[in-house]
Amino acid sequence: MLQLFVRVRDRFDTELTAFEFMSAEAVTMACQHLQKTHPLPDATGCCVLLELASLQPGETLNDALLDCLEKASEDGLVDEAAMATSQRQADLFWSVRESVPVAMLQNFPRCSPHDISVPISKIPDFIDQMQTMTASRWPQLESLVFGHVGDGNLHWNFLAQEALAPSQFAELASEATLCLYEHTVAYGGSISAEHGIGLHKKALLERFAPEGQLRLMRALKGALDGSGVMNPGKIF
């Protein structure tokens, strides 16, 4: 996945507008939810949804992308691929990606979602290590991951079927969450990405954020809102 991202990014630069990562399981669940045919029926491991856009009138990127994917396939970076040849097909591909959260909750009523980020170069190793630890320490839980590779943002979800009592799931998910955040920080990442800290991660911010970062945040808060009238009672 990472090697493919680097290759596509280097080839198309700013024309690469999206590079979404999903586990094959997530794509399968989304297609079943939408009652649509799986675009890559033999997919295993992970799937990527990438999108290119050009500002040059009349320019087509299809041939260039096809050439890039063919060479990536020859180098063992791609097993199979499907290209949208119309806006309708492109919309279908995106509907699969956007349906992953809903499909996930339909299949796993117990869910503990997390929005984290790690350095792009470390994403594959991070996922492998965290999935191995979860399977070893909390075999009752399943992990489902998807996210935005271009900015290192991963949506990590700990899941369980209804057979697991809510109280038991909460206990296991709490332990797994602390492990996830410790693992994230150890990899030089952040316990929060696009969805912010909010209230649920307020105490965790103090625990996992570097002290220098907290001092800077407090200084900015003081400089911009010395009276504490903006969004009071949230983080600082």
Q: Which tokens in the block code for residue 19?
A: 């590079």
Confidence of residue 57 (pLDDT cuts 50, 70, 90): low
Shared domain check, 118 and 50: no
Confidence of residue 58 (pLDDT cuts 50, 70, 90): low
206 close to 214: Cβ distance less than 8 angstroms: yes
Position 43 pLDDT exceeds 80: no
Position 126 pLDDT exceeds 70: yes
- Is 184 a domain residue? yes
Neighbours of 114 (CB within 10 A): 21
Give me the amino acid identity at 161: Q
Shared domain check, 14 and 84: yes
pLDDT at 203: 85
Shared domain check, 141 and 92: no
User: Could you list the residue range(s) of the whole structural domain that residue 30 is in?
Assistant: 2-102
Report how many domains make up the chain: 2
Q: Nearest-CA neighbor of 12 among 48, 67, 47, 52?
A: 52
Q: What is the pLDDT of residues 68-79, one digit of tens each?
A: 999 999 999 999
Shared domain check, 181 and 154: yes
Shared domain check, 93 and 161: no
Shared domain check, 11 and 26: yes
pLDDT at 37: 86
pLDDT at 196: 81
177 close to 112: Cβ distance less than 8 angstroms: yes
- Global pTM reads 0.86
Confidence of residue 231 (pLDDT cuts 50, 70, 90): confident
Give the CATH number, domain containing residue 172.
3.30.70.2740
Shared domain check, 56 and 29: yes
Position 138 pLDDT exceeds 70: yes
Q: Nearest-CA neighbor of 181 among 209, 140, 152?
A: 209
236 vs 230, higher pLDDT:
230
- Is 113 a domain residue? yes
Give the CATH number, domain containing residue 68.
3.30.70.2190
Q: How far apart are CA 82 and CA 39, in angstroms?
A: 6
- Is 232 a domain residue? no
pLDDT at 85: 86
Which residues are CB-neighbours of 213 under 8 A, at least 6 positions away? none
Shared domain check, 67 and 133: no
Shared domain check, 201 and 131: yes
Shared domain check, 141 and 94: no
Rounded average pLDDT over 120-132: 94
pLDDT at 206: 85
Shared domain check, 56 and 139: no
pLDDT at 194: 83
